[in-house]
Homo-oligomer: A and B are copies of this chain.
Amino acid sequence: MQNLDATFSALADPTRRAILARLALGETTVMELAEPFDMTQPAISRHLKVLEGAGLIIRRIEGTKRPCRLAPSAIDEIDQWLGTLRQALAKNYDRLDAVLAGMKPKKRKARR
């Protein structure tokens, strides 16, 4: 779990998220992907490169076309990271709730 940088960074761009959404509907070529955007083809090619670098999409070669599709593994990776955070968060809030409710105050207040 070390390319979270690339993954989140790739997801930070709305064009790239839109591309992913489109790819979620099925495999698509570069030109098909570029069409709905007000952007040149090289720009889209670059976005695809970023997505591929982050492991979010996979490309094959089919004649002169380069159909892209989503890679499921990256999603899992994010999911896993989020899971960890959510879990810690839940624990944290439980604790806070407990404190607020005054249950088992233990040795709270011992903050240095």
Contacts and interface: CB of A to CB of B under 8 A. Distances in A.
Contacts of A85: 20-21, 24, 70, 75
A69 B91 CA distance: 13
Interface in A1-60: 4-5, 8-9, 11-14, 17, 20-21, 24-26
A24 B88 contact: yes
Q: How many copies of the polypeptide does the oligomer hold? A: 2
B93 A86 contact: no
Interface of A: 4-5, 8-9, 11-14, 17, 20-21, 24-26, 69-70, 72, 75, 78-79, 81-82, 85-86, 88-89, 92-93, 95
25 contacts: A4-B14, A5-B12, A8-B8, A8-B11, A8-B12, A9-B9, A11-B12, A12-B12, A17-B81, A20-B85, A24-B85, A24-B88, A24-B92, A25-B92, A26-B95, A70-B85, A70-B89, A72-B86, A72-B89, A75-B82, A75-B85, A75-B89, A78-B78, A79-B86, A82-B82
